[in-house]
Amino acid sequence: MSAATQQSSYREAVRAGLHEALQKDSRVFLMGEDVGAYGGCFACSKGLLEEFGPARVRDTPLSESTFTGMGIGAALGGMRPIVEIMTVNFSLLALDQIVNNAATYLHMSGGLFNVPLVIRMATGGGKQLAAQHSHSLEGWYAHIPGLKVLAPATLEDARGMLLTALEDPDPVLIFEAAVLYPMEGELSPVITPVSIDRANIVRTGRDLTILSYGASLYKGLDAAEQLSAGGIDAEVIDLRSLRPLDDAAIIGSVEKTRRAIIVDEGWRSGSLAAEISARIMEQAFYELDAPVERICSVEVPMPYAAHLEQAALPQVRSIVEAARRMVVGNG
């Protein structure tokens, strides 16, 4: 990364990625609800309509299933569409197109037709938007063969993963954590794709591994800080890619620390955290000094009231307590 980095927000980083993509490849276009005149419901595409025009920044009607399916068709037709589904909550309406078409075309056709489609959506709770607007279902998408699923937690990834996804011949879903849009940080002036092959060890540690992604990553980091004060040295890993998962990084770290906690905003049962726990069971069972723990959302439709919502979401305190149990508790 170059020395002269610039100040930016996660939101601006996403916008910079979109801008770069539209500028460097005429096959790229952005399509979704309110991406144009409104500037994007999270202001991620502000100004792009004015700069690139209505043919390449396309406001759609409220028709999630069809404009997503049209993204598939346009990708098959030689374009590089970026479909924005405002939030994962509305992607349920487009799920048939994503699961039954985008993910299957290549295989059903015996390799004849690949679908170079990028779908972006915001995910997660924490903004008091209640039960229908607070889902964190990226783990669901990570279940589907044929899809790749990315979860940028940093500014560099928010900008770079979009460019990486656009170079991919197959459908890539990018989940942007809604609560991270205002996050400020440094961004390299060099706009390039980022490798998505490896998870990222954000903090190295000896005593246990905290695995997370997206907005929850920062809860893991806060917990690690608090733990270090108490003399517990936690390693924190940003998974970055949810499908495929970087088993080497996960297992490598757990073999070193012999303990793992997965922090995942999805509901506990059937969460991505469950998959990671199962993989550690399968690949590092004999290395473990304590059972892997999961810190997930409480299994309740998200309540509106702040105190209830916060109680439902993964809490730094719960991570810290679990870590203490594991390290002090045994081994």
Partner 1 sequence: MPDPEHAIHLLHQMLRIRRLEEKSAELYSAMKIRGFLHLYIGEEAVAVGVAQALSAEDAMVATYREHAHALVRGMPAKSIMAEMFGKQGGCCRGRGGSMHFFDIETRLYGGNAIVGGGLPVAAGLALADKLQDKMRLTCCCFGEGAIAEGEFHETMNLAVLWQLPVLFLCENNLYAMGTALERSESETDLTRKAASYGMRTAAVDGMDILAVVAAAGEAVSFIREQQAPFFLECRTYRFRPHSMFDPELYRTKEEVEKWKQRDPILMFKAQLFANGVLDEARLEHLEQQVAAEIADAVAFAEASPLEPVEDLTRFVYSERSPE
| Angle between helical axes of 216-229 and 316-329 (0-180°, round to 10) | 50
List the single partner that 113 binds among a second copy, partner 1, ligand TPP, none, CB under 5 to 8 Å by kind. partner 1
- Under the criterion CB under 8 A, does residue 41 sit at the interface with a second copy? no
Separation CA 76–CA 319 (nearest Å): 45
Site for ligand TPP in 3-42 (CB under 6 A): 33
List the single partner that 285 binds among a second copy, partner 1, ligand TPP, none, CB under 5 to 8 Å by kind. a second copy
Q: Which of 249, 274, 316, 326 binds a second copy (CB under 8 A)?
A: 274
Site for a second copy in 127-146 (CB under 8 A): 130-132, 135, 139-140, 142-146
Q: What is the edge-to-edge ordering of all strands in the sheet holding 200-203?
A: 200-203, 234-238, 208-212, 260-267, 293-297
Q: What angle do CA 239, 117, 144 make, to 5 degrees?
A: 50
Site for partner 1 in 96-135 (CB under 8 A): 96-97, 100-101, 105-114, 116, 127-133
Asked if 174 contacts 118 with a C-beta cutoff of 8 angstroms, the reply is yes
- Residue of this chain nearest to ligand TPP (CB atom): 90
What contacts 160, CB < 8 A, 6 or more positions away?
17, 152, 191, 192, 193, 194
- Under the criterion CB under 6 A, does residue 93 sit at the interface with ligand TPP? yes
List the single partner that 139 binds among ligand TPP, partner 1, a second copy, none, CB under 5 to 8 Å by kind. a second copy
Q: What is the dihedral of CA 285, 319, 136, 139, to 10 degrees?
A: -10
Name the minimum Å distance from CB 90 to a second copy: 8
Residue among 61 and 78 whose Cβ is closer to ligand TPP = 61
Site string for a second copy, 96-115 (x = CB under 8 A): x--xx--xx--xx-------
Structure tokens given for 190: 């060099």
- Under the criterion CB under 8 A, does residue 63 sit at the interface with partner 1? yes
Segment lying near partner 1 (by CB under 8 A), choices 178-186, 230-238, 252-260, 295-303: 295-303
Structure tokens given for 7: 């100040």
Name the minimum Å distance from CB 62 to ligand TPP: 5
Q: Which of 22, 30, 35, 86 binds ligand TPP (CB under 6 A)?
A: 86
Q: Which of 6, 37, 51, 62 binds ligand TPP (CB under 6 A)?
A: 62
226 residue type, one letter: Q
Residue among 120 and 258 whose Cβ is closer to partner 1 = 120
Segment lying near partner 1 (by CB under 8 A), choices 166-174, 189-197, 212-220, 222-230: 166-174
Which residues belong to the active site? 64, 133
How many residues of this chain bind ligand TPP (CB under 6 A)?
5
75 residue type, one letter: A
Q: Which of 2, 269, 286, 307 binds partner 1 (CB under 8 A)?
A: 307
Name the minimum Å distance from CB 3 to partner 1: 32
Q: Of 285, 161, 280, 291, give the one whose Cα is nearest residue 213.
A: 161
- Under the criterion CB under 8 A, does residue 75 sit at the interface with a second copy? no
Q: Which residues bind ligand TPP (CB under 6 A)?
A: 33, 62, 86, 90, 93
